[in-house]
Structures are given as structure tokens and as C-alpha cells.
Amino acid sequence: MLGKIIRNQKLNDKYYLLEIKCEEFVREAKVGQFIMINTRHHDYTSDPLLRRPLGIANIDGDKFTLVYMVVGKGTRLLSEWQKGSDISFSAPLGNTFTPVKEQRTALLAGGIGIAPIFWLAKTLKEAGCIVDLYYGGRTADDVVLIEELKEITDHLIVTTNDGSAGIKGMVTEPFIDNIESYDTVYACGPKPMLRAVSEIAVKNELPVEVSLDERMACGLGACLGCIIYVKEGDEVVQKRCCVEGPVFDGSKVVWDTVCK
């Protein structure tokens, strides 16, 4: 698919917001899905070779939004794309979150994990849920779009490892304090955080969905590079993060194989 860049806005030294116009994509996209996006703005190079997987952060009319962190060559190139350019990407990929209605929900995001959580928060809010978002980062630079998030959540609790924004500490700490207020938990962020959130949820008998991120070549289910091991009954089975994921039941993921 091809879309027109409406804005590619620097949010801070690490984070960017990319808004793309593409009616076809928006029509198909569902909350929790991701995209494989081309980062090269010249066709005379084959480096970086592969497209980059990014979570869909929002849709609005005929536009969709991605939030990304500049971490390497691909995302740096992506940050250089200019407004008005046509950029190519895959159709919306992967499975979706299972949004509940009129429940008390806890959402946890770590760093760039905010991308799919943003759209999920909005979706849950529209479905009459109470939406509390626990949003953690290493420093103040890792928490973005605070004003926008305030509008689509009931409570926004920010934490940073160094205390440069919000509460100093891990994002799971204030969540545990309020755990009795919730019916359902959703999370996206670093794997150790998702493991911790899942274990807390399981201990408190709460359903938990996590959105996982694995290195991917195709994003279409062909390369078998993004395997997640999941419990099914007594068996451990392989799931492709790109097709059967990225959203998994956190109580079923074999975390020892995911967090190495």
C-alpha cells in the first residue's frame, strides 16, 4: 500500500509521530495491529533491506498514526521523510486486542509500547470502560503525548526509573497498589515488563493481554523468524508473532523462552 505523509513530527530527541493518509489502510485496520513500513527514501540503495514493524497508534478519518523511537539506521531514515511524500507499507498485519465493554481496565505501557496502547485506550473509552493508564519510561524523554493521553484515559499514572517525570520507580508498582480496582489488564512494552505484568495479573486472577515485539523479516508469516512459545493445554506450541500475534494471552506465554 501507498500513503501520503501528513506529518512526521519530532516529539523529542527520541520519539517521532508519523501521520499517514491512506483510506484503504484505515478501512482495514483494527486495534492492536501493526504495519511493516519501508524506511528508505531512495530506491537506489538496498540498505536497510527490510521494512520495520511498528504498532498502529491511532486512526482518525482517512489517516492513521504511528509513534516510533529512533533506535537505528531504519528509524533514523524514517525520521527524515518529508511531509507530502508517498511512503509504502504493508496492509494492517497481525491479530488484535480483544476490547472489553464497560469494564474497569488497567493499561500498562513501557516506552515505545505506548503506540498500540494509545489506540486501545481510545477504543476502550468509547466502549464505556474506565481506563487507567500506567505509563513508564527510563527518563522523562520516554513518556510522550501526555496531553493527548489525558483526554482518553480516566487516570494517567506516569513513572520513570530516574524520577525525571511522574513517580520514581517501575510502572508495575502503582499498578499493584490499585490492582483490586480492575477487571482486565492490557500491556505493551519491554519483555521483562510484560512478564511482570502478566505474573501480577495471573496472581490476581485477572485476564491479561500483552502485545509482543519480535525481530521480523516479512511480517506475513513466511520467514518463521518471530516465534513465540505459548502454552496450549499441556503442550508448548509455536506461534508467529506477526500472524497469530502480536497480541497474546499473557498467562499463556512461556516467558522463559521470550525473556532471554
Partner 1 sequence: MSDRLKTTFCGIEFKNPIITASGTFGYGLEYARHIDISRLGGISVKGISLHEVPGNPMPRIMETTSGMLNAIGLQNVGVDRFLKEKLPALRKHDTKIIVNFWGKTLEEYIEVAKILDDADVDMLEMNISCPNIKEGGIAFGTDPDMTLRVTSEVKNVLKNKPLMVKLSPNVTNIRVFAKACEEGGADAISAINTLLGMAINIHTKKPYISNVTGGLSGPAIKPVAVRMVHETFNTVKIPIMGIGGISTWEDIVEFSLVGASAMQVGTANFVDPQIPLDIIDGLDNYLANNKLSNLSDLTGTVDLNK
Using CB under 8 A as the criterion, which residues of the chain lie in contact with partner 1 when the complex forms? 38, 46-51, 88, 90-91, 214-218, 220-225, 227, 238, 243, 257, 260
Interacting residues of 108 by C-beta distance below 8 A, sequence separation 6+: 117, 133, 134, 135, 136, 171, 172, 175, 185, 186, 187, 188, 189, 193, 197
Q: Please compute, for residue 56, the number of CA atoms within 13 A of its CA located in the half-sphere on the CB side.
A: 32
Q: Could you tell me the smallest distance in angstroms from the CB atom of residue 202 to partner 1?
A: 23
Q: Of the two residues 43 and 80, which places its CB atom closer to partner 1 in the complex?
A: 43
Q: Of the two residues 30 and 104, which places its CB atom closer to partner 1 in the complex?
A: 30
End-to-end CA distance of the chain: 35
Cβ atoms of residues 29 and 64 within 8 Å:
yes
Q: Of the two residues 146 and 222, which places its CB atom closer to partner 1 in the complex?
A: 222
Give Cα 192 to chain centroid, integer Å: 15
Q: Could you tell me the smallest distance in angstroms from the CB atom of residue 3 to partner 1?
A: 15
Cβ atoms of residues 140 and 160 within 8 Å:
yes
Q: Could you tell me the smallest distance in angstroms from the CB atom of residue 10 to partner 1?
A: 25
Q: Of the two residues 199 and 214, which places its CB atom closer to partner 1 in the complex?
A: 214
Cell numbers representing residue 74 in the block: 531504519
Cell numbers 518463521 correspond to 224
Q: Could you tell me the smallest distance in angstroms from the CB atom of residue 37 to partner 1?
A: 11
Q: Of the two residues 173 and 214, which places its CB atom closer to partner 1 in the complex?
A: 214
Q: Could you tell me the smallest distance in angstroms from the CB atom of residue 207 to partner 1?
A: 26
Residue 4, beta-bridge partner list: 21, 86
Q: Could you tell me the smallest distance in angstroms from the CB atom of residue 221 to partner 1?
A: 4
Interacting residues of 191 by C-beta distance below 8 A, sequence separation 6+: 212, 255, 258, 259
Q: Of the two residues 58 and 90, which places its CB atom closer to partner 1 in the complex?
A: 90
